[in-house]
Each structure stands twice: as structure tokens, then as C-alpha cells.
Structure 1
Amino acid sequence: MRNNILAIVAVAAAANVPILAHAQTVGVAPGTSVIVEDAPRIAAESYPAFREYVIGERIPNHTIPGTIAVGTVLPDDGVTFYDVPPSFVATPYRYTVVNGETVLVEPRTRRIVQVIE
């Protein structure tokens, strides 16, 4: 009898492990992404200096169809991202030049988070 109770408890516990693990998981629906809104970005007063830096680095201009705006997802192939120098801001984002616009990009999702005007 005692062995039967232990077996039932073990099976019940094993059956609930995936449910408990799922309950602890915070996720995002497939095909969507999360942009950390409070991650540091380049301050507006630093735009001119940052643009000069990018020109000095001779970053190639990538051409893609469509408009460039915050939220645009860049293609998987053909666009290279570069580290933002810490002298401008310590940020998890990278930068590139697309359609003549310097942009900050979240590298995992390839989503534009800031257009440097």
C-alpha cells in the first residue's frame, strides 16, 4: 500500500514538472521581439559627433527596400553591425548605415531602435 502511494506521488510530481517549469518561464510570442526601452542610446546632443565618427570609420552604406524607421527589421544577410564606442554611450546596441541613415540596431532581432538624425 505504501509503495502504491509513493508511486502515485512520484508520477504526479513528474507530471507537474513541465507545468511548473512553464509557469516560471517568461517568453515572447513567436515572431515578436522585445526591445529594452531603457537601454542607453546616443543622446541627441551627440548626434553630430557620432555622425562624424561614422564618416571617419568609412562604414559602408547598405541599401534595402522600404523606409528606415524605429521598428524596421533589417534583413538577415548583407548588413554588418558595428560596436558603438564607449566614448558615446555604453549600450548593448550596435550601429550601421542603411539607406544613408545611421541607425542603432538590437543585434539579435536586427530591429532598428534609434535613427541618428
Structure 2
Amino acid sequence: MRKQFSSAAAGVLLLVGVSAAAAQDVVVIQPEQDTVIREYVKKKPMASVSLLGVELNIGTALPDTVELYEVPDVQYRYVVVDGRTVLVDPSTRKIVKVYD
């Protein structure tokens, strides 16, 4: 009985650890910063690139061949992929937000 409890407790701790690690990848963009990004992207439209086989999901890494564009005073970069603007963490090249 005691061994079953220890195994169950270890399983729960493992799941909590995995959930915490996944939660660290979540990027929260403040409404003020989101407004700045949206306005800048409207003022500086970029040509759309096509990426076959790349899904535009949060956490998806974009290939190094994709040029990322700066948004002043924002740590993220953006690019337009298949007509959709995506915000990207330049250090990991992972998508942090997809704008429709």
C-alpha cells in the first residue's frame, strides 16, 4: 500500500513539473504592448511569405531562412506568413502570438 502511494505521489509530482515547464513557455503580452504592436504592423506592412509544412501555432519555431522584422521598444519580432502576422521570440525563433 505504501509503495503504491509513493508511486502515485511521484507521478503527480512529475505531472506538476511538466505542467510548470510548459507554463514557462507561455508569453503574456500586456494590452498596451499589444496595441503598440498592432499599430506598428499596420503602419509597416510586410510582404507575406509562404512556409509549406509549417503550422502557425504558438511554440512553433520558424526556420532561419525567414526574416524577422523589429517592432521598436518590443522584445519580439514579427513576420507575415500566409497572410497572418506572427510575433516571434528572436532568441528561439518560436511563435509567441498569431494575429488574425
Bigger relative CO (Cα 8 Å, ≥ 6 apart)? 1
Task: Compare CA radii of gyration and give the structure with the larger one.
Answer: 1
Question: Which residue does the alignment assign to 1:92?
Answer: 75
Alignment of 1:31-46 (within 5 A): 37=26, 41=29, 43=31, 46=35
For 1:82 and 1:73, how far apart are their aligned partners in 2? Answer: 15
Structure 2 unaligned residues grouped into runs of 5+: 1-23
TM-score scaled by length of structure 1: 0.50
Aligned-pair Cα RMSD in Å: 2.8
Structure 1 segments unaligned to the other structure (5+ residues): 1-34
1:31-110 → structure 2 map (5 Å cutoff):
37=26, 41=29, 43=31, 46=35, 50=38, 53-66=40-53, 67-77=55-65, 79-86=66-73, 91-110=74-93
Q: Indicate conservation of the 8 Å contact 2:40/2:71, yes or no.
A: no
State, as a whole percentage, how many aligned pairs show the same letter. 39
- Aligned pairs, how many? 75
TM-score normalised by the chain length of structure 2: 0.57
Higher helix proportion (structure 1 or 2):
2
